[in-house]
Structures are given as structure tokens and as C-alpha cells.
Amino acid sequence: RESWTPGSAFKPIVAAIGLTTGAITAEEDLGSEGLSWQKDESWGNYKVTTLHEYDQAVLKNALVYSDNIYFAKTALKIGKKSMEEQLDKLGFGQDLPFEIGMSSSQYSNEKGIASEIQLADSGYGQGEILVNPLHLACMYSGFFQDGNMIAPYLEYEEGKEPSYWVEHAFTPEAAKTIYEDLKEVVSNPNGTGHGAASVRGVSLAGKTGTAEIKSSQEDENGRELGWFVVYNTDVPKSGVV
């Protein structure tokens, strides 16, 4: 019922926002920067770090390798105002339309994203982003519902058609792109979700996330929170967070 730092599980949402707003294209190479990067000297000693180097920093590869730098750049290309508007549209800061009370999701502890670094960190699910797991599942549902976010409900009803919490959350084209790329995150041997590919007879798509919960970038005693948002591509109405 609580909201948590989503880490890399939030990257597909940022990617879908980037595609929907036209801030990025799936084929655009945002440049390889090694394992650390900062926009310019105004960031001081702060750098975004990532774990893997790879060729061609395009969306599919960035999701497969879970590249923090790519998604930090994507967030900056989206921009503060557009990011806040899109997250508001996706239900951030709102009560979930659900029978049981849930904590709402947020993108800032204050009224808005306060700095360029916070915006960049938000791109890979850090910063001050907190997401309710049920809300995250609803957002992922947009990837296999032509960009429409399903409204959650508790009691299963045979044959019930989905009702939508947010229609046109993403463009159908953006949703399809993310849907296909998340298959690659599991099927590609380099994908962070490839361990799930061993589930016999089931075709899966999804995104892992490891969120750091610590007081500063230098904090070595912080905790980590693990996520895996996954769905069965043969039965795309079935998803698990």
C-alpha cells in the first residue's frame, strides 16, 4: 500500500513520455559517455553513473542495458514543465481509484521538480520519485492497451472489459515501441530481465529495477529495493509487479 523509489522500473514510463511528447525518437542515439556523465560544470562534482558500456545509445539498447545516463538525458530533453505535466496526467499526486486506500505517487517532496539534477535523476527512477506498486502496474498496462491506462479493481469478473483510469496516457505508437522493447529486456542475453526467460513455455516482457535508498551519492550504508514489473506476452492482460 506504500509508495517506494522505483529505480530502473520507472525507465519505460520516462521513455513512453519522451516518445509521446516527441522529446526523443526510438532511433535517436543520445551518445555513449562511458560509465559516468554530467551535463556541464554547473553540476559540480555530481555525476550520473551507470553499470554497462554498450554500442549505440538508442532506446531499445538503453532499456536492455538499463542505462541511467540515457534516461537522465531523456528527462532533460523532456524538460521540467513537460515532465511534471505528463506525470500529473498519469495520476501522480492523485488518489488511486481503488477499493482499498493506497499511498499516492509523487515526483517531488515539494511542489515541483526543484533542479536540473533532480530532473535528470527522475529519469531513471531516483531523485524524489516515489511510486505505488499498483499505480506502476496501471502505467505499464498502457503498453498493451494502445496507450490507455487500466483502472484497477479488486474483484475479478468473468468477461469484464477493462475500464480506463487515463485514456491516451501514451500515444499508441509509443506504447507499441515500449511493449516490443520490454520483450527484448527479457529475451536478450544482455537484458537485465533475462533470468526470467528460463520460465518454460511462457513468453515474458518486463523491466527490472534496483532503487538506491540513501542519504547522498556518497552514502555506502544505504539500502537497495528490488523491482520486477513483468507480463505474459501471450496473455497481455496478465501482469505482476
Query: What's the CA gap between 13 and 90, in Å, rounded?
Result: 10
Note the pLDDT tens digit of each residue in 83-105.
Answer: 999 999 999 999 998 888 889 99
Query: What's the CA gap between 89 and 212, in Å, rounded?
Result: 26
E strand or H helix that includes residue 139: helix 133-141
Q: CA dihedral in degrees (89, 5, 27, 30; nearest 10)?
A: 120
Percent of the chain having pLDDT more than 90?
71
Q: DSSP characters for 40-90?
A: SGGGTT--EE-S---S---HHHHHHHT-HHHHHHHHHHH-HHHHHHHHHHT
Q: State the pLDDT confidence band at 223, using cuts at 50, 70 and 90.
A: confident
Note the pLDDT tens digit of each residue in 51-65.
Answer: 999 999 999 999 999
Note the pLDDT tens digit of each residue in 148-193.
Answer: 999 988 877 777 778 999 999 999 999 999 999 999 999 999 998 8
Q: Catalytic residue positions?
A: 8
Given a cut of 70, whether residue 239 has pLDDT beyond it is: no
Given a cut of 60, whether residue 215 has pLDDT beyond it is: no
Query: Are residues 195 and 181 in contact, defined by beta-carbon separation less than 8 angstroms?
Result: no
CATH number for the domain whose boundaries are 7-180: 3.40.710.10
